[in-house]
Each structure stands twice: as structure tokens, then as C-alpha cells.
Structure 1
Amino acid sequence: MNDDIDPLETREWLEALDEVARHSSPERASFLLQELTKHAKERRLRLPPAITTPFSNTIAPQEEKMMPGDLFMERRIRSLVRWNALAMVMRANDNDEGLGGHISSFSSSATLYDVGFNHFFRGTADGHPGDLVFYQGHSAPGMYARSFLEGRLEEAQLDKFRREVDGGGLSSYPHPWLMPDYWQFPTVSMGLGPIQAIYQAHVMKYQQSRGLVDHGDRNVWCFMGDGECDEPESLGAISLAGREKLGNLHFVVNCNLQRLDGPVRGNGKIIQELEGVFRGAGWHVIKVIWGRKWDPLLERDKTGLLQKRMDEVCDGELQNYKYNGGAYTREHFFGKYPELLDLVAELSDEDIMYLNRGGHDPYKIYAAYAAASEEQERPTVILAMTVKGYGTGEAGEANNETHSLKKLDMESL
């Protein structure tokens, strides 16, 4: 980016845009920007690429829909589900060494699912045809754990996780052939869920448009991982979804920045990359990157230096900060600019450690899901940043090997 040769003029332009948005409307300000862009192209002026936005939340705090419900009860339920998922995988591997299973994937996405189950996913009660949900394959333990709390699965079934030969067991991944009364769609191998979800939403819109089936406000939800997006099937049909304006389709990408064997984009920014890909395909993109504990810092940052630091840091560094703790984050993230050290001077190292990511903040997730549900003309993708192995502490949180975590010792538990 070129240095600003006339900061005063720049500030006047920005203030003028603020005035239009404040006294006319945000829509009017957006229209003027579009007209300016069109005029610049006519004048053959060189424009910066506009496929990505700053590394920040799409929805501003003042624009977030208020989350209803008993938040403390929901957190308690979420904690129990996460614990039971972990315990189920551990017990399976204690009984049969090497049986496998995934602890860290669901631990990072538990809040994403919990908000959906509690507030957005609709079943077939009261005549509603029911929403269709494609669950990420590696998060299957979390679905079993929730069903156990609901009384839909017995403890004996959980003890047979990944052991189906003798009957009564639970399949490793969503598999309707093995568990026809439980799973609706197969989503493994990786990438099958996204491409199925797109064509499911497409067929539903086709049927609705021709009066063949009344789907009403039925939605298709698809959960996937950021590493999974490298599978050819994951993104192979997203242009069709954008072209057909599938407003009934919502992707939720759990961006925990790690794949099976290490970082997804260690020296890059996978969320920014995916934003560009989906926006280019005509999708509505909602980024849920920072939790609400960051909001006061961003509000106090009048120079934009904190946002600049967020924009320039790469995913590998973000993982390093979370793995090494608050003191390390203070020194290496905030410490790059003295002004940012002043910004967090009153925060303890523990406070900095618990500056949460958006994918673990139910308030931010609820606002994103609500915005996605209101979008009727475009498919929506929610890019939520999380921590892989969230809640497993030193045993696996943000560790490069956390995907392979199958057991924890008593101290870690």
C-alpha cells in the first residue's frame, strides 16, 4: 500500500462518507461507492482488488441481533456435550487401543453446533418439513454426545463407538446406510457434505419454483472445516449456488486453522482466501473472527493500529499465540507497536489469553446465523475462527498434533 501523501485530504473524504451514512443511509453510502468505482473504471484508474475485506467481523457489535434464551443453561449443556464427546472417544481407545476417533475437531466447533441446535435448526414438528443439516464428519462424536443427553442414545451405545461388528455400535462418521434411523446424509469422505448440500438446495429451489413441492422456509445447513475446503468437491460447485441464487443454503466453515497434519495456511490467511473465493462466486460472506472480549479494545483503538496488526498477522502466528499463552501474545502480537502495548496495559496475561475467537462466542455466532437466515437472494457462508482442541488445555489446544489426540491423562482431564 502506498504511503498517504495528504492525510488531511484523506480524512476529509472519510468524514464525508461518514456524514452520508449517518444523515442519509448506509445504503446511500454504498451506492456512492459503487458509482465512484464505476467512474474510476471509466477513467482507466487503477483500482485495488476488492474481493476481501479487513480481517475483522462482518457484523458490527451495534448491528448484532440480540441472542435470546438462558445463556448460562446453554453453556452448561455445551460443556456437558463437549465432555461426553471427549469421554466417549477416550473410553473407546482405552478399551481398544488404536480405535481412533476425533476429540479436537468437535471441541473447536461445539458452539457453532450448539447455537444452531438451540435456535435455528428446525425439526418436523407442527407440520414443518424440517431443515436439512450436513454435519462435518469429524464432529460426529459431538452429535452422539448430544443425543445421549437428549435420551436418544444409551450409554451402552456410546461404549460401542466405532465398534459395529457385533451390532448396536455407533459408526465413525455420518453414515445413513449403517445407521438409517439416525443419520440423514453421508458426509465422509471429506468434501461430500458441501457438494451434496449445494445440489440439495438447488433441487429444493427447482421444486419450489415449479410448484412441485412446497418447501416453504426450509433451509439447508452444511458444516465443514477449513482444511476440508482443499478437497475438490468442497468448492467445486459453489459457482452454481451463487448463479442460482440459493438463498436457502448456508455453509458454516469451522476455521480452526489446522488440518490433519498441521496448519491449513501457516504463512497465509485461510479466512481471507476463502472470503475471496466465495465472494467471487456470488455468495454472501459473513466473517466471525473475534469474540466480544475484543470489542472494547477495538472501540478504544482510534488510530486503526489494532486492525492493522490483525490484518498483517498470519495464521501460523495466531496459532502460536494461542498455544504459548497471554504473556507471549502480549510480547509478540501487541508488542510490535508500542501503542498497542499501552492499549492492553491494564489487562493481565490471563485476560489476554482469554481474548476469545468468534467461533467460541455464542453472541457473535447467533448474530451471524440470524443474518444468514434473513438473506434470501444469495447463499451464505459463515467463516468462523476457532481454536482446534478448544478446552483440552496443554494436552492439545492449538497444538499441531491435536487432530490425532485420542487420549488425555488425568491431569489434562
Structure 2
Amino acid sequence: MQRTIIHFDLDTFFVSCERRLDSRLMGKPVIVGGTGDRGVVSAASYEARSYGVHSAMPIKAAKQLCPNGIYIRGNGGTYSKMSKEVTEILQEELPVLEKASVDEFYGDLTGMDRFHNAYKYSKELRQRVMRETGLPISFGMSPNKTVSKVATGEAKPNNEIKVDPGYEKTFLAPLSIKKIPSVGQKTFIQFCNLGVRTVDLVQQMPVEMMTAVFGKNGRIIWERCNGIDNSPIIAYHERKSISSERTYGQDTTDITKLHTTISAMAENLAFQLRRGNKLTSVVTVKVRYSDFQTYSKQIRIPYTAADHILIPKAMELFKNLYNRRMLIRLVGVRFSGLTEGHYQIDLFENTNKTVNLYKAMDALRDKYGDHTVRRANTIGDGSRTIGNQGNPFNGQPPILLAHRHQ
């Protein structure tokens, strides 16, 4: 049976999320990413791209190209929440869904044409996603994942393309070889050295020549250029871990800053757990020193999503881990072994007071931003890149929280 594979991609996803939060960002050059000297661009609006800004570019270079752009630090928790909204709609409507990333999805509609027009159905689904989430999304449809993904790239921004069976090679032929998945910058330079810049030239090459030059990857590229891809759709499953990392602008041994960073990460991740109705059973802390040596420690705990349990566990791991007394480049916290569930109070805790406190804090965060309410010991230079503090139109000061659970 001829396969029908659809590929959805949320256009400039992080930028679109920020614009949904604040419509005044519409039509302006918006750049999302770390704002320190070592920061990189995570996403750039099409307006910013017209200045030459693109993802993975150093923020420093982006500011030289687009000095008048709006630079936003971004909030992974907010983006995950909006991604989940889209995921739930697609899961409801597609027989098989693969979530390739936070903003990219594959669906298998094979056999649907016996009952419905698959392309028409997908167009209606795309409209539903935009209507219910306010996020622009594009899709490509073809008999396989590679051609559908390339088609989505050609459809952007905010459009759709269908490549009928038998026309895969014709569709791909005039495109740059750079648009084929698995052709990175180094491979593209190799192709340029061979005088090859477009897909049609690869289509004319013997596969033996490709493998001789590029090894095993040569056959994969040759097949993809010829519209051949039998890779299956891998059904989506809920993630089993969440994490946060910070790379410091300057390597540090400031123990106060390090403690603040770890506490802020653990606090924010605990909130993400509660917002997603998740509990964690494993806490991991990672440290990367200035010589790039990386170490981590983890501990298994009873299932929980409580700040006052998770923060001390993370701090304990860090204190046991940090023994080289060298400058630190990066620290990270990860919660894994996730399962569905709500935070349960301990029989020996102060009954409902703790649960009610978390509910009140989380309600404020959902309404006004992840860091509207913060513990006093997570305020400081060590937490300045944790969470969403970059939107220039949303300068809500945090409510400091200091209570017995530190």
C-alpha cells in the first residue's frame, strides 16, 4: 500500500510563542536565545532573518547584524506548555503521531484516502491547530518522511505542500543539496568542492560514487535525493525526564552564585512537574569544569514534585559533586523517572498548608509568568538566565517567598 506521510512544523516556534504572549511583537525583528556573550540564537523571526540572523548564530554576531532587534531570553517551560497544546490536538486527530522535537511532528495517514481525502483532512487539521493555539504551522505531505520534511521547508511560512506519489524526484531535483536532511555544512562544502550544488546532480550519480566519497552516509544521501525513504513513523510517548542547564558568561567558583543557580533550576523544574501533573523519582546534578571535564551524580527518591524536597536533594548532590575546586563552566539539574501524578502531602507535614501554598504559587506563575513567585534564596546573579526575563513588554517584578521550607 502506498504510504501517506505528513510532516508538521511550527513556524519560528519560540518567536510565535512570544508573540502569542504579547501581540506587540508582531511584525518586529524578534530574536530568542541567551543574551550573554556566550549566548546563541535559538529562533529568529522572518523580519530578523532579513538582516542575516539565523539560529545557532552567536547573539553577539546577531546584535551586530540587527542592533534594533528585540532580544528575548525565552522560557522553555512556556514553550513546552504550548507545544503540548499542539501535541494533544494532533494526537486526537492522527492515527499515528511521531513527535520529532518540541515544534516538529510526523503523522501516518496511510489508507485514509479510502474513506477521506487525506490532503483535505490535513488542511482542516492545520487550520484547527492555528485556530485553537494561535500558532502558525506548515506541513508537507508525500509518500515518505524525507520528502514531506523538505516539502514543509518549501511551504514555509505558514502554508502547505503536497507531493504526489511518483513525483518525489521531480520535486527534489531543482532544490539545493543543502535542503536534504543529513547534509550539514561540512558535507555541503564537500559537495561544492565536487561542483555539486543541486539535488538533480546527485540523482544522476551512481550510488557507488556516493559511497566512495561519503561512505555509508553517501548511500543515505543518494536515496534521499532520489525520494527513497522507508523509515517508519515512531509513535510518540511522553518524555521521561526534564532538565535545565546554565553556561556561565565567565567560569566561576563563586559558591553563592552556584548555589543560587542550582536552587533556581530545581525550583523551576519542580513547578514544571506540577504544571504537567508529573512526579519525579530521580534527581541528577551535572558540573562541567573550565577544562571541559564533566561529572554528574544522581539519587533515587520517593516520587514527588515538591520544591522543599527537590531543592535540598539537588543541593546535596552538588555539594558531594563539587570537589575539584576548579572554575566551573556549566551546571545542570535533571529530574527523571517521571510518572503521572499529583504531589501528595506527607503524613508528618503541616497538613494542607504546604499543598495550598504550592497551589497559590503555581496559580500566580501560570497567570503572570514562571518567575512571578520565587524563593528568596533563588534571587541573585546565579539565577539571572533561568526562565523568562527577556520580554521587554512584561517586566513584572517577582514576589519573593521565604518560608520554613528552604
TM-score range, shorter chain: under 0.3
Q: Point out the structure with max Rg over C-alpha.
A: 2
Greater RCO, 1 or 2 (C-alpha within 8 Å, sep 6+): 1
Q: Under a length normalisation based on structure 1, what TM-score does the superposition of the two structures give? A: 0.26
Q: Under a length normalisation based on structure 2, what TM-score does the superposition of the two structures give? A: 0.26
Question: Whose strand proportion is higher, 1 or 2?
Answer: 2
Question: Whose helix proportion is higher, 1 or 2?
Answer: 1
